[in-house]
Amino acid sequence: MSNPVLVKTSELPQKFLEVHPHNVYLYCKSYSAGLRANSAQAKNRSAVRGGGKKPWAQKGGGRARAGSLRSPIFVGGGVAFGPQNNRNYNQKVNKKQKKLALYHALAERSANEQLFVTDMVSIESGKTKDAKSYIDALNQRDVLVVKELIDDKTYLAFRNLENSYLIEANELNAYLVSAYHSIVIEKAVLDKLTKES
């Protein structure tokens, strides 16, 4: 396994450097919205138990008329316009914007000297301590490791490492690139990205 080498901005295609950063914002916003649990649920007046009897006479009591104690104005009543779990939080981002967002995110990591390329990421022993020494040698806060295809041994080595995250090339996106301090990417994956642009 070769040592990772810094990718300079000059080595990236010009197209990577001309992308507007707003694309990253839109993609990350869309990605975060997709992660929402959508489990907030409040009962409206028809779903709250009780309240079948009219609490007091319509007239003559000096109080405002009321038909049910489960009205939103009473304690223990339903919630008016409360959250319902059928809400759709999805925000559409088209394919071109997703691609542009990834290009800009990679270019930004390169400009900050946080993008590394290596021929292959492979921990043949499958031991976490070997993966840890590989990551520690980079001297970075946390690392996203991008491999073309993950093999079983490398997966075992990285899965319990708290300051790194191993993904396959098809999982790579602008949100993950932005979320991690540094990126280690296999040369084959980076070459494919630069050819696509």
Task: Please tell me the total count of domains within the chain.
Answer: 2
pLDDT exceeds 80 at position 179: yes
Domain co-membership, 103 together with 11: yes
pLDDT one-digit tens code per residue, 77-110 = 999 999 988 888 899 999 999 999 999 999 999 9
Task: Give the structural domain span for 61.
Answer: 50-88
What is the reported pLDDT for 43?
Answer: 95
In a domain, 146, yes or no: yes
Domain co-membership, 118 together with 180: yes
**154 pLDDT tier (thresholds 50, 70, 90):** very high
* pTM for this prediction: 0.81
**Percentage of residues of the chain with pLDDT beyond 70:** 98
**Percentage of residues of the chain with pLDDT beyond 90:** 76
The residue type at 129: K
Contact assessment for residue 27 and residue 91, using Cβ atoms and an 8 Å cutoff:
no
In a domain, 44, yes or no: no
**1 pLDDT tier (thresholds 50, 70, 90):** low
Domain co-membership, 80 together with 141: no
In a domain, 54, yes or no: yes
Q: Which residues contact 107 (CB under 8 A, 6 or more apart)?
A: 9, 12, 16, 17, 19
Query: Could you tell me which of 21, 9, 176, 193 has the C-alpha nearest to residue 97?
Result: 21
As a whole number, the mean pLDDT across the chain is: 91
Query: Could you tell me which of 131, 106, 144 has the C-alpha nearest to residue 12?
Result: 106
Domain co-membership, 83 together with 97: no
What is the reported pLDDT for 194?
Answer: 86
Tokens at 12, concatenated? 């990236």
Contact assessment for residue 8 and residue 17, using Cβ atoms and an 8 Å cutoff:
no
- Stronger pLDDT, 9 or 155, i.e. the higher one: 155
- Stronger pLDDT, 162 or 196, i.e. the higher one: 162
In a domain, 43, yes or no: no
Furthest CA-CA distance within the chain? 89
